[in-house]
Structure 1
Amino acid sequence: MRFAVFSASTPDWTPEETVAQLAAQGWDGVEWRVTDQDEADPPGFWAGNRATFPLSGLEGDLPRIAAITRAAGLEISGLGTYVPVRDRANAERVLAAVAALGAGRARVILPGLDSGDYRELMDQTRRDLTWIADRAAAHGVTALVELHHRTIVASASAAMRLLDGLAPQQVGVIHDIGNLTIEGFEDPLAAFEMLGPYLAHVHVKNVAWLVTGTRADGGPRWSAEWAPLREGQADIEAYFAALHQFGYDGWVTVEDFSTVVPLAERTRDNLAYLRELDQRVRVRGA
């Protein structure tokens, strides 16, 4: 496996600082966040993120992205964009961008559950992805959709309903254990087997369910909060064991949105933890 960090989770660092830190810590790659965002001070994950490249003018930033990443000895595991699947013009742009970077893959965003009737959203998204698959083939890259809570594809089962019949070389799935702990959880090995060749990428983060209030009926109100990899409810070691049993040996990108531990310490410990787990499950499986 190769380990990368999604720059959405490194908001305090500039792109140059991000690659310098990750290279010094021993990471294999970086997944760049691409979106037009609001300003914020101090920087945050979703606004004012200093490790984000704007979608506006992305083409002009491609030489910088390539140069700083490769100068640090890192690879680009992909572009994590926020382009809606229905936005065909910008989908074309990001597919062309990853082709120019030699990065191979870019994420597009699926509709949320509050966007309309589920059946109609599925039908329209299928049409959009069919178009995107054709454009991905033309560019020789893969468009990725992420299993994500509160979207029309929160599970592997839903992903197969959406993608079945499309070429997996052109449209693939990001499996994300953190998102699935919130909604859409299925046994990981069964999910990998279900996805088969559509399993193109893996995101890792963790989450904890906490009591954050009281419902109107007097019962506890539970909320999902991002947690350090070692401390959340998702069993990351069991997840790695399932990945190895399935035979996955691609990118594992960390997007740790917990804030208990300072950023540099957090990224350093996450890599040590994942390598430890990777080695342990490999030894057990040998």
Structure 2
Amino acid sequence: MKPALFSKILDDRSLESAIDLTGELGYDGIEIQASEPHLPPDTSHERAERIRNRLDEVGLSVPCLATYTGYYDQLTDSEAEAELETLEQYAALAEILDCELVRHKPGGPPLRDATDDDFERAAGYVRRAADVAAEYGRTIGIEIHAGRLVETADSTMELLDLIDRQNVGVIHDAGNMCIVDAEYGRASIERLADALVHVHVKDLQRVDDPTLPDAFETETNRGEESFQFRPLGEGDVDHLPLFTALVEAGYDGYLTDECSVTPDGEDGDIDVARRELEALERTIERARSAAD
């Protein structure tokens, strides 16, 4: 398993600077935030080629292009068509960047409110997105996410079955699953099986005070709840059983750290990225030992 950094952690810097720093810190990959300031959809192919060259010089791969395309429950049909056009721009950029996976979001509503029609509409559009991505040899990655149709491993697999495309896979996210009390350890890895194409890593915890730093509120099955982003290993998300299951399953892909803790000071973002890598590597080693 290889550690990667989400470039959003360094989003006060240019993408080129973020690439350099990520390599210097010792990560194996960088997941690029597909929006300003790092990679908006109108990024020229010439700039994408320069970015690819920079990645090669630093020795980094791009395991996933983290686009914010999709969210079909919130869109009219004409707006959804526009999202597919934007996705095609990103698929072309992903090809230049030698990035296999393009994140695409089917949207909601939350699973507790979802109907068969919601699943069918989302599946229809993601099926078309997959066909667009296939023209560029890319794979669509659906991230398991709270407040969406894909809150759990089961609901995500239900949607994948409806989409029925070989180039659609699942991005596991234990932090998002923890929010909705979904199982995110061994059973989730067994359920996803070969559909698992990538893993996101972040830590958070339930709190009583939504005004705490890095806290947010969201509706869950328990009602309105507050959560606070935390450094890896300091929240409620126990990644060790997950990583152990990944080792045992033979997963050799990337683990992208998505820490959302606000950095402190001028170079606080670098401190966050360094600390997260250390915690990530410790947990990977513990998982390997546990799996032996």
Q: Which residue pairs with 1:146 in the alignment?
A: 143
- CA shift digits 1:229-275 (9 cap, x unpaired): 12010012222112212222211101100126622111112112211
Q: Which residue pairs with 1:236 in the alignment?
A: 239
Q: Which residue pairs with 2:49 in the alignment?
A: 63
Report the TM-score, using the length of structure 2 for normalisation: 0.83
Residue type matched to 1:34 in 2? A
Q: Measured at CA, do residues 179 and 102 of structure 1 come closer, stay the same or move farther in structure 2, by a change above 3 Å?
A: same
Q: Which residue pairs with 1:81 in the alignment?
A: 67
Instruction: Indicate if the aligned counterparts of 1:155 and 1:184 stay in contact, CA closer than 8 A.
Output: no
Q: Measured at CA, do residues 21 and 107 of structure 1 come closer, stay the same or move farther in structure 2, by a change above 3 Å?
A: same
Instruction: Indicate if the aligned counterparts of 1:118 and 1:152 stay in contact, CA closer than 8 A.
Output: no
Q: Which residue pairs with 1:106 in the alignment?
A: 102
Q: Measured at CA, do residues 11 and 100 of structure 1 come closer, stay the same or move farther in structure 2, by a change above 3 Å?
A: closer
The secondary structure found in structure 1 opposite 2:247 is: helix
Q: Which residue pairs with 2:28 in the alignment?
A: 28
Q: Measured at CA, do residues 285 and 118 of structure 1 come closer, stay the same or move farther in structure 2, by a change above 3 Å?
A: same
CA-CA distance at 1:131 after TM superposition: 1.7
Residue correspondence of structure 1 range 169-180 to structure 2 within 5 A: 169-180=166-177
Tell me the distance in 1 between the aligned counterparts of 2:92 and 2:224: 45
- CA shift digits 1:57-76 (9 cap, x unpaired): 35453123212222221111
CA-CA distance at 1:165 after TM superposition: 6.1
Tell me the distance in 2 between the aligned counterparts of 1:268 and 1:282: 21
Q: Measured at CA, do residues 195 and 71 of structure 1 come closer, stay the same or move farther in structure 2, by a change above 3 Å?
A: same
CA RMSD of aligned residues (A): 2.3
Residue correspondence of structure 1 range 209-228 to structure 2 within 5 A: 209-212=206-209, 222-228=225-231
Residue type matched to 1:282 in 2? R
Residue type matched to 2:129 in 1? I
Residue type matched to 1:148 in 2? H
Instruction: Indicate if the aligned counterparts of 2:106 and 2:126 stay in contact, CA closer than 8 A.
Output: no
Instruction: Indicate if the aligned counterparts of 2:100 and 2:139 stay in contact, CA closer than 8 A.
Output: yes
Tell me the distance in 2 between the aligned counterparts of 1:122 and 1:61: 37
Tell me the distance in 2 between the aligned counterparts of 1:269 and 1:5: 12
CA-CA distance at 1:280 after TM superposition: 2.0
Q: Which residue pairs with 1:269 in the alignment?
A: 275
Q: Which residue pairs with 1:41 in the alignment?
A: none
Q: Which residue pairs with 1:43 in the alignment?
A: none
- CA shift digits 1:114-139 (9 cap, x unpaired): 7x964322111111122222233332
Point out where structure 2 has 5 or more consecutive residues left out of the alignment.
Answer: 73-79, 211-222
Tell me the distance in 2 between the aligned counterparts of 1:100 and 1:23: 20
Instruction: Indicate if the aligned counterparts of 1:228 and 1:260 stay in contact, CA closer than 8 A.
Output: no
Tell me the distance in 1 between the aligned counterparts of 2:106 and 2:121: 11
CA-CA distance at 1:283 after TM superposition: 2.2
Q: Which residue pairs with 2:76 in the alignment?
A: none
The secondary structure found in structure 1 opposite 2:255 is: strand
2:124 alignment partner, one of 121, 124, 127: 127
**Number of matched pairs:** 265
2:58 alignment partner, one of 67, 72, 83: 72
Instruction: Indicate if the aligned counterparts of 2:52 and 2:96 stay in contact, CA closer than 8 A.
Output: no
Residue type matched to 1:23 in 2? G
Instruction: Indicate if the aligned counterparts of 1:168 and 1:198 stay in contact, CA closer than 8 A.
Output: no
Q: Does residue 1:161 correspond to 2:158, yes or no? A: yes
CA-CA distance at 1:281 after TM superposition: 1.9
Q: Which residue pairs with 2:259 in the alignment?
A: 256
Q: Which residue pairs with 1:7 in the alignment?
A: 7
The secondary structure found in structure 2 opposite 1:76 is: coil
Tell me the distance in 2 between the aligned counterparts of 1:278 and 1:169: 29
Q: Which residue pairs with 1:16 in the alignment?
A: 16
CA-CA distance at 1:111 after TM superposition: 1.6
- CA shift digits 1:178-219 (9 cap, x unpaired): 111112511421111111111000000011110027xxxxxx
